[in-house]
Amino acid sequence: MKLEPKDHGERVAQFRAQILGPVLHAELQRGELLAELRLLSARRFRPPDSDTTRTYSVHTLLRWRRRYVEVGLDGLRPVSRQVGDCLALSEEQRGLVLEIRRQHPSVPANVILATLEDDGRIARELITAQTLRRLYRHHDMARRARAKAGRDDGERRRWEAGFAGDLWHADVCHGPTLKIDGRRVPVRVHALLDDKSRYIAMLRVFGHEREVAMLDLLVEAIRQWGAPRRLYLDNGATYSGVALATACSRLGIKLIHATPYDPQARGKMERFWRTMRQGCMDHMGPQPSLHAVGVRLNAFVTERYHKAAHAGLMGSSPGKAWAERQCNELDEEARHRALTVRTTRRVRTDCTVSVGNMDWELAEAFLAGRKITVCRTLADPQREPWVEHDGRHYDLSPVDPVANGRRKRKKPTPGVDAVDFDPATVLVDRAARRLPRGGKR
C-alpha cells in the first residue's frame, strides 16, 4: 500500500504548502515577506488534477500563509462555497418551495416560481428561477422527468414471469422505408416475446401498425403455440382497441398496459429490438418486398437469436427455455368463437350485403331490406362470413351477377297445403249475394 493523500483537499493543501515553502519558516525582515510573495506571484504552478498552469496573487498567498500559521496544514484545504441555500427566502418560504418539489417532482422551477409570485407568497424578482434550481440541486431534488414523477426510483425491481408461456410482450419496431414499384412502403416489424424464456413466439413484417396486424399476429401465435395467460403492451393505438380487448377477454388472456412515458418498463422488448437491429436489420440493404424483409428477420431469430446464450437466462438459450412452456391449448372451434366479430348491416332489396369491401348475397329473400347481424371470424380470414338473425344462422355466398342472369326464376305453384286466399272472388260472391265459402254471412 502507498502512503498518499486521502482526498483531493489534502492534495491541494500540500500543493499550497509547497508554494509557500520559501516564506513559511524563513526569518524575514520587515518588507522582505512582501518582496518574496511578489516573486512567488510571478511564477506559474500546476494545481492537482489540472491540465493547465496558473499564477496566484500576493493577496491570495498572504491569506494562505496567515491560515497556515493559525491552523496548520488543514488551514490550506479548499473550502467549498455554500451555494444553493437561497438566502433571500425566509425559512418558511424555503420550506414551501421544497415541499412543492416533493409533491410535484416533474414541475419546472420557473413554473413553481411564477405561480408563487402570482399568488403573492414570494415577492417578485426576489430570486430567479436559476437560483431556485440551485436550491433544488443542493437538496438533491432536481426535476425528474414525467416518466419518473410520482414513483420512487427505488421501487423499480427486476422481474420476470413465473414460467414460459405465462406472459408475452407485444411491440412494434420501425424499420427502414422500402421503395417498391415506385412507392415508399414503411417497414413495421410486429413481434411477440415470451417474458420468461425471451423466445420470439411470432414475428411478422407489415407496412402498417394498425390493430388488425396485431390481431393477425396473435391469432397465428395462438394457433401454433397456444394462448398465454397475460399480454403485456404499451399504450399505443395498436394495442388499445376494442377488438383486441374483446378477443383477449374471450380467450382468457389478461391485458396489461405499461405505465405511460416509462420506456424502462418495456426493457426486455427494447433489448430484443436492439439485438435484432445490430445483428440483422442494419445490414440488410435494399429489399424488394416486405416478404423479403420478414424472411431475413425470421432467419436471424431462428438460427441466431433462439440458439444464442442469453445473459438473462443464466447462459441458457431462449430455445431451450421455451421448450418448458405451459400455454393454454385451444381447439379450432374455440378460437373461432373467441375471434368472431359482428357488425350490423342492412340487406339491399336484391338480397345482397357488403362485407369487407365485397358483395355477398343471401338465399333468403324475406331478409331483403332488413337489418341483420353479419359475423366473420378473425381466426380464419378465408372463411366466408355468415348472418345471425332472430337466433338463426344463414350462409352468405359471393355475388355472381353472370350466374344470376342465367338462373331461371321459379314460378310459385300452389301446393297441396296452399292456403285458400282469394280477395277478388270473395268480393264477387258478396256482390252476387252468394253464401260465403265459410258458410256464414
pLDDT at 155: 60
| HSE-CB of 119 using CA atoms within 13 angstroms | 10
User: Is residue 438 very low, low, confident or very high in pLDDT (cuts 50, 70, 90)?
Assistant: low
Other CB atoms within a 10 A radius of the CB of residue 204 amount to 19
Strand-strand pairing, 340-346 and 371-377: antiparallel
What residues have CB less than 8 Å from 53, skipping those under 6 apart? 44, 45, 46
What angle in degrees, to the nearest 10, is found between the helix axes of 58-71 and 8-19?
A: 110
pLDDT at 280: 92
pLDDT at 137: 86
pLDDT at 185: 92
Q: Averaged over 247-258, what is the pLDDT? A: 88
Mean pLDDT, the chain, as a whole number?
84
Q: How far apart are CA 425 and CA 430, in angstroms?
A: 9
In sequence order, what are the beta bridge partners of 376?
Answer: 341
Distances from the Cα of 123 to the Cα of 68, 88, 111, 119, angstroms: 44, 10, 15, 9
The proportion of the chain whose per-residue pLDDT surpasses 90, expressed as a percent, equals 24
Single-letter amino acid, residue 246: T
Q: Averaged over 398-412, what is the pLDDT? A: 76
Among 138, 12, 6, smallest CA distance to 81 is for: 138
The proportion of the chain whose per-residue pLDDT surpasses 70, expressed as a percent, equals 91
Q: Indicate the length of the chain as a whole number.
A: 441
Single-letter amino acid, residue 190: H
Q: How far apart are CA 194 and CA 167, in angstroms?
A: 6
Give the distance between the most distant pair of CA atoms in the chain: 160
Angle made by CA atoms 334, 218, 359, in degrees to the nearest 5 = 75
pLDDT in tens, 346-390: 999 888 888 877 888 888 888 888 999 988 887 777 788 889 888
6: Cα separation from own chain's centroid: 47
Query: Global pTM?
Result: 0.58
pLDDT at 232: 93
Confidence check: pLDDT of 440 > 80:
no
Cell of 119: 399568488
Could you give the residue ranges of the DSSP H alpha helices within 207-241? Answer: 211-225
Question: Are 199 and 318 spatial neighbours (Cβ–Cβ below 8 Å)?
Answer: yes
Torsions phi, psi for 196 (to 5 deg): -70, -45
Distances from the Cα of 217 to the Cα of 137, 150, 359, angstroms: 48, 35, 27
Per the listing, cell 399505443 goes with 236
pLDDT in tens, 61-76: 888 888 888 888 888 8
Confidence check: pLDDT of 110 > 80:
yes
